[in-house]
Structure 1
Amino acid sequence: MKWKFRWVIVGLIFLIGALNYADRAAFSVAAPMISKEFHLDAVQMGLILGSFSIGYALFNFVGGYLADRFGPRKVMAGALAGWSAFVGLTSAGFNFISFYILRLLFGFAEGPIATTSNKMANQWLPARERASAIGLYTSGMLLGGAAAGPIVGLLSLRFGWRTSFVVLTVVGLLLMLLWLKTTTDYPAQHPRVSKEELDEIQQDQGSVQSGNPSDATPNLTLWSIIRRPTILFTAVAFFAYNYNNFFFLTWFPSYLTKARHLSIHDMSFATAIPWLIGAIGLMCGGILSDALYRKTGKLMFSRKVVLAVGLFGAAVCIGVIGSVNTALEAVTLMAVGAFFLYLTAMIYWAIIQDTVPSKYIGSAGGFVHLVSNISGIIAPTVTGILVQRSGNFSSAFFLAGGLAVVGALATVFLIGRRESRA
């Protein structure tokens, strides 16, 4: 089988995603140390953790629009340089306000990554490979989250938590230079893409790329696309997914240290386990969905089955964590829950790829991602309030699981039954 250069592009997006989640998770891993040093209570820490998503959600849409207008290569490079700079500046934080502002700006800079990655995949990959490729490069995010625990934890214990943020900044700037040197917006622009590979990509771009009559109407606008029920309720399901994702990302390390009394060292390694299992689920989700499509010929059905099963499974596991008695039980349930949750992670993007014309992929994906990431503002803040008032995490886990059920029901009953074929 001849080697395909497009998988180099997928590999680079994988590395950027891994660094992206390592950078996000770094603050959560360091949060017990930061909250102790600066005397931050649960509500203040929840607000700091949630401030990231204010900027992030807004720039999901802005980043998608910029990727449509200026190309994903430049937008990704700018985002990578910007968020790496703010990761380093986090080491200069000194009180509640400073950390709040730094995390807000960090979120602004990270906002374009998902929509820009999605735009790049849309332009570089044939339709039959997209879900698998999205699953592969998105799994890098979870592996980055897994690596953040041991790396940040051990660096923090040996050199102080500030050092870990500086190290991540240097890695980010080096990766940005590699991205600019290696990529182009389109495969036709790249000297290392053969004519055979280019023909293979262009001949299987999918109906929304090659002239679906329903998408060719002159009245088609971004507004008409994002008002489609399939797009709106995909955003609802994505919101439920991301609530659980941000709940896990921001508060699970603190849960293990405060409720299960693990040391920083033990917590750093325990938090890596759900990320690793989740990465397996994420890679399996895209492969499973593409396999179902090849087997049945029903594109939307192959997406919805994986989405509904994954969200229901996550709901059961995450919802009951607050009632278990040991750290081992909590980490085990969180790992299984992460497997089911991240089984769905690429499906939201695959639905957008399958149903939205190429011209609007970045903007429509940015809208869906914006809606979903409002949960990133709500989840850390609400969790902090629930923990502060109740003195435990039980209601926070139950709420997260309940929202996953809502997302699963939206998938089954409200995401459009009429398929867009690729």
Structure 2
Amino acid sequence: MVMTARQAYITVGVLFLINLLNYMDRYTLAGVLPMIKKAFGLDFEVAGLLQTVFIVSYMSLAPIFGYLGDRYNRKIIMGTGILIWAGTTLATSFNVWLMLIIRGCVGIGEASYSTIAPTIIADMFSGQQRTKMLAFFYFAIPVGSGLGYVSGSQIAAATKSWRWAFRITPGIAVVLSGFCFFVITDPPRGHCEQVAQNTEKYEVKATTWKADMKALLRNKTYVWTTIGFTCVAFTTGALAFWAPTYITSAELAQGITSTSSTGLIFGAITCAAGITGVLIGAESSRRFRNRIPYADAIICAVGLLASAPFVYVSLFLAEVSLPLVWVLIFIGEVLINLNWTPIADILLYTVPPARRSTAEAFQILFSHLFGDAGSPYLIGAIADSITTNKEPAFQAFALKYALSITTFVCVLGGAGFLMASFSLEKDRKEAEFQTEHNIKNQIENYDESIHDDLLMMIPR
């Protein structure tokens, strides 16, 4: 298959737009959560369950789509999943109790996309060019998350109803689904590795699911980075879901009644910090990887460890000085966002092409199972155990101590990435060897089949 640079860049552009919409949709709920919570008298625990239901569905379905993504047409899988995602997102706007069920179905679309998109980028680009494309792709996470807060809160404020916040993105998702079917290119698995070896006609073949799992569990870098990424997911999931509500309560506790701009400010900070963090992370990776083979793991560790004190102090100053809190949140988010590109790159160059979707899927499963699937619910439950008083001062106090858990999780995550640095170079070389071995076996089998065909043509 001959793929032009133009096709590759168009494909990355479409994948970026889908990822942007993905995270907008995910955090629209957080942007309007105070409205939903007030309208239906929900406590912290039930409100947190709305996000947990979605994440549980998303992570549970990821291994299925990972298996399919390593074996079947990836753009058809993504396009179909996005259509399901559009329909279920629209359905969430009709009833808050029905939302608990339907939010789970939204996970179908996100699981079909998130497990596959990075592997397509990996098959189209290699080396520093891959890092740049992944950085561009992962800009969508903080920018989309920020836009989710902004669009959710502003649309709800303009229409006087939280329901309309869930009725804009589905139409865009349908259009992007059409792009999946008719615009993007699905390159052969391992395309870059094949080009490097001048063996484009030999497609990298998938191994058995059992063999995939054994290989991934033996891959120490994959295991440790998955643990580190789980801590990132726990922290970002808890802060993204509860921070706007906490700051709103802190404002009210100080007698500040005009809180309509909280979602807008938090969203803008999330966007700016995300862009800054992803840029710094990608550039640091580009500059240091050739000189220090394990640089990507160190970048992730430093970012997560350094973010902990900023997050911790910001939580305890929210009831004292909000301007200072916004500054600390910005710095903390920049440091956390250093991780996105290096984490993705580590997986793609330490796992052979034949099992990358499976690796993505199980990293999603594990990181969300022990990360942001439970963190919004857990933080809500802890806050409820501290106080049931609905007064803003008590609500802010409870959320402050509940959210402080995230800082200790950041430290654990940083330790996980430090452990990954010890095995990263070895696992990278092992992945390169396995890819070459896979293609070599196919060449030998191809040559043997020609030999057998020639023997059959000899008269006997």
Question: Which residue, out of 322, 326, 330, partners 2:321?
Answer: 326
The residue aligned with 2:228 is: 237
- Paired with 2:207 and 2:93, the residues of 1 have a C-alpha distance of 52
Q: 1:363 aligns with which of 352, 358, 361?
A: 358
Cross-structure match for 2:307: 314
Query: Residue 271 of structure 1 aligns with which residue?
Result: 266
Asked if the contact 1:68–1:362 (Cα under 8 Å) also holds between the matched residues in 2, the reply is yes
Shift of residue 356, structure 1, vs aligned partner: 0.8
Aligned counterparts, 1:123-202, within 5 A: 123-159=123-159, 160-186=161-187, 202=194
Aligned match of 2:389: none
The AA in structure 2 aligned to 1:231 is Y
Question: Secondary structure of the residue that 2:251 maps to in structure 1?
Answer: coil
Q: Distance in 2 between matches of 1:328 and 1:288?
A: 29
For the pair 1:222 / 2:218, whether they are aligned, the reply is no
Indicate yes or no: 2:423 matched with 1:417.
yes
Give the direction of change, closer, same or farther, for the CA distance of 1:53–1:254 in structure 2 (3 Å limit). same
> How far apart, CA to CA, are the structure 1 residues paired with 2:322 and 2:100?
30
Matches within 5 A, 1:238-257: 238-257=229-248
SS at 2:260's partner residue? helix
**Amino acid paired to 2:423:** R
* Cα shift at 1:250: 1.3
How many residues in Structure 1 have an aligned counterpart in Structure 2? 401
Displacement after TM superposition at 1:260 (Å) = 2.8
For residues 34 and 414 of structure 1, do their structure 2 counterparts lie closer, same or farther at Cα, with a shift above 3 Å needed?
same
TM-score by length of structure 2 reads: 0.81
Question: Which portions of structure 1, spanning 4 or more consecutive aligned residues, are displaced by more than 4 angstroms?
Answer: 215-220
Matched residues in 1 for 2:307 and 2:195: separation? Answer: 37
Q: AA paired with 1:331?
A: W
Q: 1:291 aligns with which of 281, 287, 294?
A: 287
Alignment partner of 1:376 out of 372, 377, 386: 372
Match of 1:70, SS state, is coil
Contact 1:19 1:141 in 2 (8 A): no
Once the two structures are superposed, the pairs formed by residues 21-170 of structure 1 within 5 Å of their partners are 21-95=23-97, 98-159=98-159, 160-170=161-171
Q: Supply the distance in 1 between the matched residues of 2:344 and 2:420 (Cα, whole angstroms).
A: 17
Inter-partner Cα distance in structure 1 for 2:37 and 2:139:
30
Which residue of the other structure, out of 288, 299, 305, is the alignment partner of 2:298?
305
Q: 1:260 maps to which residue? A: 251
- Find the residue that maps to 1:5 and give its secondary structure: helix
Distance in 2 between residues matched to 1:311 and 1:93, nearest whole Å: 38
The Cα shift of 1:322 comes to 1.8
> Which stretches in structure 1 are left out of the alignment for 5+ residues?
189-197
- Which residue identity is paired with 2:230? F
Shift in Å, 1:202: 4.6
| Mean Cα deviation higher: 23-32 or 263-272 | 263-272
1:399 to 399, 405, 414: 405
Residue 258 and residue 204 in structure 1: after superposition, are their counterparts in 2 closer, same or farther (change >3 A)? farther
Question: Would the aligned equivalents of 1:318 and 1:397 in 2 still touch at CA under 8 Å?
Answer: no
Q: CA deviation at 1:265?
A: 2.3
CA contact under 8 A between 1:274 and 1:338: conserved in structure 2?
A: yes
Q: Give distance in 2, aligned partners of 1:218 and 1:45.
A: 41
Counterpart code for 2:382: L
**Contact residue 206 and residue 354 of structure 2 kept, 8 A:** no
Say whether the 8 Å CA contact 1:274–1:336 is kept in structure 2.
no
Tell me what 1:280 maps to. 276
Matched-pair contact (CA < 8 Å) for 1:124–1:201: no
Contact 1:135–1:284 at 8 Å: present in 2 too? Answer: no
Q: Closer, same or farther in 2 for the Cα pair 1:368/1:341, shift >3 Å?
A: same
* Aligned partner letter, 1:270: I
Secondary structure of the corresponding residue to residue 42 of structure 2: coil
Higher Cα Rg: structure 1 or 2? 2
Letter of the structure 2 residue corresponding to residue 366 of structure 1: A
Whether the 8 Å CA contact 1:229–1:415 is kept in 2: the answer is no
Q: Percent identity?
A: 21
Q: CA deviation at 1:114?
A: 2.2
Query: Amino acid of the residue matched to residue 225 of structure 1?
Result: A
CA distance in 2, matches of 1:380, 1:28: 11
RMSD: 2.8
Q: TM-score, normalised by structure 1?
A: 0.88
User: Offset at 1:304?
Assistant: 1.2
Aligned pair in 2 of structure 1 residues 309, 178: CA closer, same or farther (>3 Å)? same
Deviation at 1:394, TM superposition (A): 2.5
**Does the residue aligned with 1:377 lie in a helix, a strand or coil?**
coil
Change (3 A) 1:181 1:414: closer
Q: Is the 8 A contact 1:290 1:302 kept in 2?
A: no
Q: Conserved in 1, the CA contact under 8 Å of 2:79 and 2:177?
A: yes
Note the alpha carbon deviations across 1:362-418, whole angstroms, 9 max, x for none.
001211121111111211011101222224222233211111111111211355435
Q: What whole-Å deviation, never above 9, does each CA across 1:269-295 have from its counterpart, x for those lacking one? A: 11111232122211331232122123x
Q: Which moved more, 1:320-329 or 1:39-48?
A: 320-329
Indicate if the aligned counterparts of 2:298 and 2:421 stay in contact, CA closer than 8 A. Answer: no
